[in-house]
């Protein structure tokens, strides 16, 4: 069980981020994706980052812990 947890942690920490970071530049270099998409995708990612950050802040404001 511990091995599986460590393996998944490694995959989601190192393998997936590298794949996502490498995807866009490779597609642009190979000519599969035009320049408008190369600009639009990071903008969309920024919008989703901003929305998730705002959602996190709203959640923190409404958070009430239980216990002592």
The pLDDT value given to residue 34:
81
Integer CA distances (angstroms), 11 to 4, 8, 32, 55, 58, in order: 11, 5, 27, 26, 30
The pLDDT value given to residue 55:
94
- Indicate if the pLDDT at residue 67 is higher than 70: no
What six digits make up the tokens of 4? Answer: 């599986």
For 21-64, what is each residue's pLDDT tens digit?
788 788 888 888 888 887 888 888 889 999 999 999 999 998 88
What six digits make up the tokens of 25? Answer: 């530049």
The pLDDT value given to residue 35:
80
- The span from the first CA to the last CA of the chain, in angstroms, equals 33
The pLDDT value given to residue 47:
93
Predicted TM-score (pTM) above 0.75: no
User: Degrees (nearest 5) of the Cα angle 16, 13, 59?
Assistant: 100
């Amino acid at each position: 069980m511990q091995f599986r947890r460590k393996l998944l942690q490694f995959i989601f920490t190192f393998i997936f981020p590298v794949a996502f970071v490498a995807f866009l530049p490779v597609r642009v270099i190979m000519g599969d994706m035009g320049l408008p998409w190369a600009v639009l995708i990071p903008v969309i990612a920024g919008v989703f980052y901003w929305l998730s950050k705002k959602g996190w802040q709203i959640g923190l404001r409404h958070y009430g812990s239980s216990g002592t």
